[in-house]
Structure 1
């Protein structure tokens, strides 16, 4: 267990080298860690404590009916959610079902699978990061050469700047495929967060997509006229039916009322996830649109480099962007985010000078 928590802690650890955007890190670092933490919390309560307690007749051992109802799910009666508690029903959704059909019941099959589902969701959120880390191959870290510190001898600094400059010069216009792989990972992150909303909607029998809206609407309306969406999806009390042979050989029906204490935690987790996924989806959509604009507009690339790296001369940025491709721009931007600002300025100025000399040589030829 300590090893698992250690793994979660390592995800939260701040990295010295950034190879992705802030929104991308929200996916694999913040969201993955939150999902794993919720999974561990529910797993501890589910497998260490007692996740279900059923009240029933004395002729059935308690552990038998608890195990049966845990394995075969419990149910509520939707029509009973609008009845008066303490007068017509003992709890919203709990009512007499004799003579009714199974179609009048809402069955809760997700209860024992929530921890596993959260863990699976965490894996999905980390997958784009795993892909990009594999495709990136440590390029940014290798090119940095500890130039993010900026405190070293002039000879060492000059040598490292020359190595970086030589690499950028010799490999100019060859980074497109490397760059577009990262953009693909961001697109996968956007598809993942949207897909997970529909995944959870399927998991909760079509009641999750509007869950947050229903909760807000319920809080702002007269509670006596509406069904509490939290109790409707995550009931604290449900019913369970157990059949067994009686002493005469006849099949006997035993109704039990079950308490589901984990649903108090589940409702808080999923109302948070609903709003968090909504915010994350909007932010990621903005990033995807931002990438499309960058791909289509070289002028925007110039503007962004000017805004982000003000120490670099405008003419140098214009020359570099004009003579390079999309992948080179992305590499320059990532390097500028990681290495010392003064060193990055010097490298960009020298690269622009080389491009200018090269253009002059071609014109003379």
Structure 2
């Protein structure tokens, strides 16, 4: 139980290494799933999820046994206008296999939705650009006094300057995973973080697609649009009797061994009250998955555009620099001030830098980010003016790499 509580605490803890759509997928969905799981669990295992109409000759113990066995074993649905089939295989084909497992399925769903987030957390840490740390620092700087915020921005600028000018980003670590990611980094170059982040978005989309397939097989009778159909049926005033989904009245077959001699088989009718809650829950989850699918696909297209379309990257950086206090205090005209902007965007910040700065804007706002970008631009121009002598010296010393924040040395 402590581990589960720690998991919830970890998920609930604010993180600033992703955008709001990512948090919808892994954080909000997790809370919805876990809350629904506990609600259903309390109904099914501490309440009365099923009641069966038993023969008057059944003693009290038999009545309780009937309820328990019909909940544990699958019941099956027969439409009101049809007789109970005699064929055992036909009864089995109509079995409801989901209601006992709903809480556990919801917990599994919560874990699956966290997988892409964990993937991003683990791999962005190996880039050498400590995304979580620098974006968190920028977020904290937005709430501090002027002097404290200036000092915090200085630390961020130092880290980003070291990371942007390094030929190969890495962290000093001896694990096999980091070694592999160093090799991948050398192949992907300035797009390492970009590829990892886009892959994370794609993983969220795949999990949402699997959600549709799973719900169709688990509760929708194979119809992937069952959520739409049941919603439309409800608006028309139809009930489960017409749709056949989440039936409240089912049949249950079981056997009782009497005196170890005679085996009696009974078929009883049961009221599956748990399905009243299951129907509302799963219809909501279907629509939620559809909402996530549409928003995440749209968000993926947006990120691909802003990271790969150069005019947008240039305008994004330009607008941040122009909006900064550093630029307003400069006596140079705008054209002269921005004369090295193309080199700054193409050769220095690159795609991974745009990604980090976009996340910074998303989590910390444009005011803080604009001052950081303006300081980086000034640092870049000074670096170019010096002919990169500092980097040549650092390369000879074998120390051309981004520094690592103390809080991130031991864990991703």
Shorter-chain TM-score bucket reads: 0.7 to 0.9
| Aligned with 1:266 (options 278, 283, 291) | 278
- Equivalent in the alignment of 1:38: 36
Structure 1: distance between partners of 2:213 and 2:261? 47
Q: CA deviation at 1:160?
A: 4.1
Distance 1:208 1:2, change over 3 A: farther
User: SS at 2:253's partner residue?
Assistant: strand
RMSD: 3.4
| Aligned with 2:110 (options 103, 109, 122) | 122
Distance 1:176 1:227, change over 3 A: same
User: SS at 1:254's partner residue?
Assistant: strand
- Equivalent in the alignment of 1:147: 141
| Aligned with 2:300 (options 260, 270, 288) | 288
- Equivalent in the alignment of 1:327: 352
- Equivalent in the alignment of 2:84: 97
Mapping for residues 61-140 of structure 1, pairs under 5 Å: 61-77=62-78, 80-81=79-80, 83=81, 95-97=82-84, 99-100=86-87, 102-103=89-90, 106-137=94-125, 139-140=130-131
Structure 2: distance between partners of 1:8 and 1:234? 30
Is the contact made by 1:320 and 1:352 (CA closer than 8 Å) also made in structure 2? yes
Structure 2: distance between partners of 1:98 and 1:147? 70
Structure 1: distance between partners of 2:384 and 2:34? 54
When normalised by structure 2's length, the TM-score is 0.71
User: SS at 1:333's partner residue?
Assistant: helix
Structure 2: distance between partners of 1:340 and 1:289? 22
Structure 2: distance between partners of 1:338 and 1:227? 49
In the alignment, structure 1 residue 228 sits paired with structure 2 residue 215 = no
Gapped runs of 5+ residues in structure 2?
A: 170-189, 328-333, 389-412
- Equivalent in the alignment of 1:168: 160
Structure 2: distance between partners of 1:183 and 1:115? 32
Q: CA deviation at 1:291?
A: 2.5
- Equivalent in the alignment of 1:86: none
Distance 1:266 1:220, change over 3 A: closer
Structure 1: distance between partners of 2:277 and 2:341? 53
Distance 1:310 1:261, change over 3 A: farther
Distance 1:332 1:317, change over 3 A: farther
When normalised by structure 1's length, the TM-score is 0.80
Mapping for residues 190-229 of structure 1, pairs under 5 Å: 190-204=205-219, 206-207=221-222, 209-219=224-234, 221=236, 223=238, 228-229=242-243
Structure 1: distance between partners of 2:86 and 2:365? 76
Distance 1:149 1:278, change over 3 A: same
What is the CA deviation profile of residues 53-96 of structure 1, one whole-angstrom value per residue up to 9, with x for unaligned ones? 1112224611222222122211112xx35x3xxxxxxxxxxx53
Is the contact made by 2:220 and 2:226 (CA closer than 8 Å) also made in structure 1? no
Is the contact made by 1:215 and 1:228 (CA closer than 8 Å) also made in structure 2? no
Distance 1:172 1:4, change over 3 A: closer
Gapped runs of 5+ residues in structure 1?
A: 84-94
Structure 2: distance between partners of 1:179 and 1:248? 69
What is the CA deviation profile of residues 191-210 of structure 1, one whole-angstrom value per residue up to 9, with x for unaligned ones? 11111111222222634512
Structure 2: distance between partners of 1:362 and 1:310? 25
Q: CA deviation at 1:341?
A: 4.8
Moved more, 237-246 or 2-11: 2-11
Is the contact made by 1:305 and 1:333 (CA closer than 8 Å) also made in structure 2? no
Distance 1:219 1:304, change over 3 A: farther
Distance 1:123 1:328, change over 3 A: same
Structure 1: distance between partners of 2:241 and 2:279? 15
Aligned residues: 342
What is the CA deviation profile of residues 239-275 of structure 1, one whole-angstrom value per residue up to 9, with x for unaligned ones? 0112345689565331111111111000000110111
| Aligned with 1:345 (options 362, 370, 376) | 370
Q: CA deviation at 1:228?
A: 3.3
What is the CA deviation profile of residues 282-307 of structure 1, one whole-angstrom value per residue up to 9, with x for unaligned ones? 01111222222234312222344556
Is the contact made by 1:52 and 1:261 (CA closer than 8 Å) also made in structure 2? yes
